[in-house]
Structure 1
């Protein structure tokens, strides 16, 4: 199974539909959060996903530069539909590699993680950099990954 990475303009209508449906299914319906998923950041992002026979978007995230922090990339909207398969960890690792390819000068990757998932991100080398805070009724924390540490691990 190979990852697919495309800019917004490269996405077909069917791919965009499948991505938005997966995000809606997980973040809005499953997690019962009414929030503006379409936030204006998709056009500037690289969209990364893995598809399977059962799900055209089985794992997904988007990667883009952090606007207020040069040298920092953002990984966001991380989701897996097929849980317990290891696909989420594979996708996260590929997302960090994609961030490095998109900005070879980047020194960090930043995420806002749901607090219960901090251990998942920690296994890739992220560390918590904020106190817990509520976002759309779910407790989150900011996390960062030092890319020099990550590169040595890869």
Structure 2
């Protein structure tokens, strides 16, 4: 998988389209969740994209500390269904964690995890924080990675 990291302004139209298409494919259609994906926060994010050839197969968006949470944040973690067996989720998370360290100088990262993925995030050093909650009808829990 080839990783590309860009600010919102650096994205070309094709990349932006592929990001929105993948997020809709997984979060809206596959997970059958009607929610406002285009939330006005993409312009403040660093976009971490994983490509196989020209196909976007993995993605996250990262935020500086204080914008989304007090800590730096990773969100919209996604891997296209047919590529989940290749470990691309781990690759995109490692790239995102490294980008936050390099871009913002922070080792403290918070995310809102779908609860069925707790063990996945634990393998990247995240620990559960607080009680579970529903976000767009899906069980989530806050998870934090520290120094």
TM-score by length of 2: 0.93
Give structure 1 stretches of 5+ with no counterpart: 149-154
Residue 88 of structure 2 corresponds to 87
Runs of 4+ residues deviating >6 angstroms: none
Instruction: Report the RMSD for the aligned CA atoms in angstroms.
Output: 1.3
Residue 143 of structure 2 corresponds to 143
Is the 2:132–2:139 Cα contact (8 Å) retained in structure 1?
A: yes
Compared CA separation, residues 69 and 35, structure 1 to 2 (3 A)? closer
Give structure 2 stretches of 5+ with no counterpart: none
Compared CA separation, residues 68 and 59, structure 1 to 2 (3 A)? closer
Correspondences of 1:69-148 after superposition (within 5 Å): 69-70=69-70, 72-81=71-80, 82-104=83-105, 106-146=106-146, 148=147
How many aligned positions are there? 144
- For 1:64-111, what per-residue CA distance to the aligned partner results, in whole angstroms no more than 9, with x for missing partners? 1242655x210000000111111110110110000111111x241000
Residue 19 of structure 1 corresponds to 19
Residue 64 of structure 1 corresponds to 63
Alpha-carbon distance between aligned partners in 2 of 1:107 and 1:97, rounded to the nearest angstrom: 9
Structure with the bigger percentage of strand: 2
Correspondences of 1:35-50 after superposition (within 5 Å): 35-50=35-50
